[in-house]
Amino acid sequence: MSSKEILLWIMNQFNDTVELIYKPLELDNKKITVLYIKSLIDQELFQKYILQPFFEIDSEEKLQVYLMALPQFQEVPSKEEGLLYVMEGNVLVEIQENLYAIDFKLSKNSDVNSTSVETTIHGSELALSDNLMTNINIIRSFYHEPTLTIEYFLKGEVNKPKIAVIYDQERVKTTALNMIKEKLEEIDKQVITESPQFSNFLNHKRFSLFPQMLLTERPDRIVYNLAGGKIVLLVDGSPQCMMAPAVFFDFMTTTEDNYHTFVISYYLKLLRYLGIFVCILLPGIYIGAASFSPEVFRTEFMLTIAGSRMGVPFTSFVEVLFMLFFMELLLEASIRLPKAISATAATVGGLILGTAVTEAALASNIMVIIVSAVAISTFVIPVNEMAFAIRIVRLLLIVIASIFGLAGLTLGFLCIIMYLVNQTSYGEPFLRMYNYRKGDKKSEGQA
């Protein structure tokens, strides 16, 4: 197929799009043909690097050498590739029966965002951008290793976004890499828009509760995890990336942990783990203590609880579910609402509902305290995905506690741990204690 035919074939694919520009240029003894989509390319660049030289360079050979010397230059191996190049914002240039693609993509989304989900006090405030190339540029400029490998895939039958798989060839966990590549090949979705979708696409399970991939928007976190052997998945147009394999403890660390002094960072970690225990167990303990075995706690304390529950017409678990339900509604509503209204929602929900509920004796004062304590401790979990999963775990434990009391709560908690341990994230056990001592590999085997 000659280059002329390829150009015609590409034009036919687009039917009668006004935006597709086909221009044969002829001057003196020079003749080139350009083909591009007007809205996709940077017209200034096009003017500066192709049109101007065309009028200034006197022979066709020189012009060709000039084009080949441009950094944006690419060869066009086939007509399908050519079509893709046009759609990605390249200018196809036909010169002397040869067809070249020059990348003049105009991207208005390449600005680096500031962190909105994972905010920290210490450390960088800059997050990824919406543009894949900018993101790769950020990662490359933070991670200076020749072993850093980037592979591109095109997935999604309709919109075909560019997907980049990034890893450090020396440190990467090969089983996980092979698994991810294998599963990437199997994806047959029509539309892919954001990288968080991959946590479901690459997961063959129909029901999964805990996230198997870590979502982040922070370049420092990406770099840290790349060095730890993780694989990073980026999608063009998505300001977040997925990292795998992820284990439970990844979801409990913030990047800030490395920026504090030793004692402070351990204190914060301790706080976080206590928070997760409180968040999971507190409602269950309340139910177990109030309805099943009040003798467990000291008498004065139980009398306070019983006094506070005076006049409340429900059993403790109805009370807990009632209050938690409204808290979850409030949480969900405040995410969806525009910022201006969400403050009102918080006031109405938190202050008015809280006081009114206790005054109407629909829930005890202590219950309101517990629900707010639980809500606060949910926010302590640094990665959002895990916080969502924990909310569901809490609900399960409440149900178990309301049937079997404190013993059921303990058993349920043990089962959750067992479930977590049994999960696998791309070949890595999801929850286990790691042995950080060097050279101690001898003491452990694999079954």
Partner 1 sequence: MSRFYYYLILINMIANIISAVPTILLYYREDGAVSALIVGAMLGLVIVVIYTKFFNAFPGMTFPELLVKTMPKWFYYPLLCFMAIMWFVAGASTLITYTFLLIRYLTPDIPIILLGLTLIVSIIFGCFMKTDRVLYTIEIIFLINFPIIIFIIIKAYTSKSLNWDFIKAAMLHVVEMPNMNVITACIFLSLGVVNLVIFNRFFTQKQNFGLKQIMVVAFISIATIFTTYFIPIGFHGLKSIEEMIYPWVATSDSMRMKFFLIERLVYVFLLLYLSMAFLSILIHWHVAVELFKFVFRLEKIKYKDIPIGYLIIILFFTAASLFLIVTLTEYQLFQYSKYFFNLTAVNFFGMIFLLFYIARRMKGAKDSKN
Q: Which listed residue (433, 436, 438, 439) binds partner 1 by CB under 8 A?
A: 433
Nearer to partner 1 (CB atom), residue 237 or residue 284: 284
Q: Which listed residue (131, 408, 425, 426) binds partner 1 by CB under 8 A?
A: 408
> Does residue 382 touch partner 1 according to CB under 8 A?
no
C-alpha dist (Å) from residue 400 to 290, 375, 394: 15, 20, 10
The stretch near partner 1 (CB under 8 A) out of 50-58, 340-348, 353-361, 439-447 is: 439-447
User: Hunting for tokens 């420092």 — which residue is that?
Assistant: 220
Over the window 293 to 332, marking each residue x when it contacts partner 1 by CB under 8 A and - when it does not, the resulting string is: x-xxxxx-x-------------------------------
The stretch near partner 1 (CB under 8 A) out of 31-39, 65-73, 220-228, 405-413 is: 405-413
* Shortest distance (Å) from residue 439 CB to partner 1: 12
* Shortest distance (Å) from residue 414 CB to partner 1: 5
In sequence order, which ranges of 23-123 are alpha helices (DSSP H)?
43-46, 52-56, 60-69, 79-87
* Shortest distance (Å) from residue 306 CB to partner 1: 16
Run of H or E residues at 410: helix 384-422
* Shortest distance (Å) from residue 418 CB to partner 1: 5
Amino acid symbol at 375: A
Distance (Å, whole) CA 425 – CA 385:
15
* Shortest distance (Å) from residue 215 CB to partner 1: 25
**240-299: which residues touch partner 1 (CB under 8 A)?**
292-293, 295-299
* Shortest distance (Å) from residue 309 CB to partner 1: 18
> Does residue 421 touch partner 1 according to CB under 8 A?
yes
> Does residue 206 touch partner 1 according to CB under 8 A?
no
The stretch near partner 1 (CB under 8 A) out of 77-85, 90-98, 141-149, 410-418 is: 410-418
> Does residue 405 touch partner 1 according to CB under 8 A?
yes
Pull the structure tokens for residue 326.
Answer: 């409204």
Distance (Å, whole) CA 119 – CA 156:
32
Residue 330, C-beta contacts closer than 8 angstroms, at least 6 positions apart: 345, 346, 349, 350
Residue 314, C-beta contacts closer than 8 angstroms, at least 6 positions apart: 322, 362
* Shortest distance (Å) from residue 267 CB to partner 1: 17
* Shortest distance (Å) from residue 124 CB to partner 1: 34
> Does residue 360 touch partner 1 according to CB under 8 A?
no
Backbone φ and ψ for 188, nearest 5 degrees, come out as -130, 50
Pull the structure tokens for residue 303.
Answer: 């009398």
The stretch near partner 1 (CB under 8 A) out of 94-102, 149-157, 184-192, 399-407 is: 399-407
Torsion of the alpha carbons at 270, 273, 274 and 279, rounded to the nearest 10: 160
C-alpha dist (Å) from residue 445 to 339, 440, 441, 442: 53, 11, 8, 7
> Does residue 447 touch partner 1 according to CB under 8 A?
yes
Peptide bond between residue 245 and the one before it cis (omega within 30 degrees of 0): yes
The stretch near partner 1 (CB under 8 A) out of 47-55, 165-173, 184-192, 407-415 is: 407-415
Q: Which listed residue (144, 206, 339, 442) binds partner 1 by CB under 8 A?
A: 442
Distance (Å, whole) CA 387 – CA 313:
32
For residues 369 and 319, the answer to whether their CB atoms sit within 8 Å is no
Nearer to partner 1 (CB atom), residue 310 or residue 433: 433
For residues 41 and 91, the answer to whether their CB atoms sit within 8 Å is yes
For residues 411 and 400, the answer to whether their CB atoms sit within 8 Å is yes
Closest CA to 134 of 159, 117, 109: 109
Q: Which listed residue (202, 305, 393, 431) binds partner 1 by CB under 8 A?
A: 431
* Shortest distance (Å) from residue 320 CB to partner 1: 18
Kindly state the DSSP code that residue 51 receives in the 8-state scheme: I
Closest CA to 280 of 366, 350, 370, 354: 370
User: Hunting for tokens 């003491």 — which residue is that?
Assistant: 443
* Shortest distance (Å) from residue 377 CB to partner 1: 17
Closest CA to 428 of 238, 246, 183, 214: 246
Q: Which listed residue (39, 43, 109, 422) binds partner 1 by CB under 8 A?
A: 422
* Shortest distance (Å) from residue 391 CB to partner 1: 21
Residues that bind partner 1 (CB under 8 A): 292-293, 295-299, 301, 404-408, 410-412, 414-415, 417-418, 421-422, 429, 431-433, 442-447
